[in-house]
Amino acid sequence: MEASRPAGAGWFTFAGVLFLIAGVANLLWGIGALDDASYLPEDGLLFSNLTFWGWVSIIWGAVSIVGGGLLLSRSAVGAIMGIFIATLSAFFWMFSLPVLPIWSLVVITIDLLIIYGLSAHIDAAK
């Protein structure tokens, strides 16, 4: 007999996989920033330097990977962490709207879907 999945379990998988992808991307970007890669121009930064933003990106990537793992394990802590991470991400990308309007809207939309899915189906957590 097949075990039934709780309603909303797909939202946890969706959010978890997206956080894992974003976390790995942020880790790679952070490593590139720390390496002083020539393809990352420092003159376009509004605040600080590439080393600072590299470490911020690595920390954010690690938090996203941990959150993604917790979401894939259907943890209630993961759901709360996922909502928090998606909310911070949406705020960050709202400030990026003038620079990257289309990409910002795409990421904000995905963040809002994650917030909705996790908050509406938090009862699917273990």
Q: With bands split at pLDDT 50, 70 and 90, how would you rate the model's confidence at 63?
A: very high
pLDDT at 41 over 80: no
List C-alpha distances in Å: 71 to 14, 15, 28, 44, 89. 9, 7, 22, 35, 17
Sign of CA dihedral 100, 106, 109, 113: negative
Task: State mean pLDDT over 25-43.
Answer: 75
pLDDT at 68 over 80: yes
pLDDT at 60 over 60: yes
Instruction: Please give the model's pTM, rounded to 2 decimal places.
Output: 0.80
Q: Give the pLDDT of residue 56.
A: 87
Task: State mean pLDDT over 35-52.
Answer: 65
